[in-house]
Amino acid sequence: MNLSQIQSTINSTSNVTETLQALDRVKAVPSAIPVLTSRGARIPLVGTIAYHEALGFCTVISRTHSSLRLTVDDIEGADDVTLRDGSIVSRADWMMRASEVSLSSACIEIGVLESRNADIDDALNEASTLVKELSDSIEARVREVNEMIISIDGAEKCGWQFDEYASYVPQVKPMFKSENKAFVEAPARVVVDDSDDWLQAELDDCDWSGDRA
């Protein structure tokens, strides 16, 4: 092996060493974990795009538990709907009917709650706070003319496609705990004055000239 071959071998070995050292310095980035419902379905992000072949593009505006509220961007361009009696209506007409039904059913439920609250012999007597919360929950289910409420768990099986899903990144625990102890200043050394040493003074006053037994 000549000098040039030896030099190239040394250079390649140093490059490998530097590469391994660089890889050791790189910290592993944890991957994102999807947020799922209780049934294991991925949860779309609020404010993202949804698509269905019959409706076109929609926008996710809110989520309540496992239900999504969507707004249809172009109702006029959506497919027509065939009713049970065989008649065909436009998508806008069908969504208007669905909105009216949800509004009327919500009014009926709220009216029943308020009437039970006014009844003296009812268990919900003077429970105005509870009735208000239930009424707000019922009103939240009412949808506008251009809105739809779908279930997340069966959305993709029904032909829905979503742009982005909710996810989170787990926190990485350090492999080695850094012991950053607080700096404690060492106590100052006490300077002893020899002139105040009473023991030395007592020893100096002793008479050591006598005979010892």
Same domain, 40 and 65: yes
Same domain, 93 and 141: yes
Over residues 98-150, the pLDDT tens digits come to: 899 989 999 998 888 888 776 655 555 556 777 888 888 888 888 889 999 99
Same domain, 135 and 151: no
**Contact yes or no for 131/117 (Cβ under 8 A):** yes
Same domain, 33 and 119: no
Over residues 55-78, the pLDDT tens digits come to: 999 999 999 888 999 999 988 888
Same domain, 70 and 150: yes
Give a yes or no: residue 46 inside a domain: yes
Same domain, 141 and 95: yes
Q: How many CB atoms lie within 10 A of CB 98?
A: 16
Same domain, 136 and 160: no
Same domain, 128 and 40: no
The parent domain of residue 33 ranges over 29-75+146-172
Question: What's the domain count of the chain?
Answer: 2
Distance of alpha carbon 98 from alpha carbon 91, whole angstroms: 10
Over residues 11-50, the pLDDT tens digits come to: 555 566 666 565 555 555 567 888 899 889 999 999 999 9
Give a yes or no: residue 209 inside a domain: no
Distance of alpha carbon 111 from alpha carbon 135, whole angstroms: 9
Give a yes or no: residue 18 inside a domain: no
For residue 141, CA distances in Å to 97, 105, 137, 147 come to 15, 10, 7, 11
Same domain, 141 and 46: no
Give the CA count within 13 Å in the CB-facing half-sphere of 37. 18
pLDDT at 153: 93
88-97, 129-138, 187-196, range with greatest mean pLDDT: 88-97
Same domain, 139 and 44: no
**Would you report the helix, strand and coil content of the chain in percent, each value rounded to 5?**
35, 20, 45
Give a yes or no: residue 161 inside a domain: yes
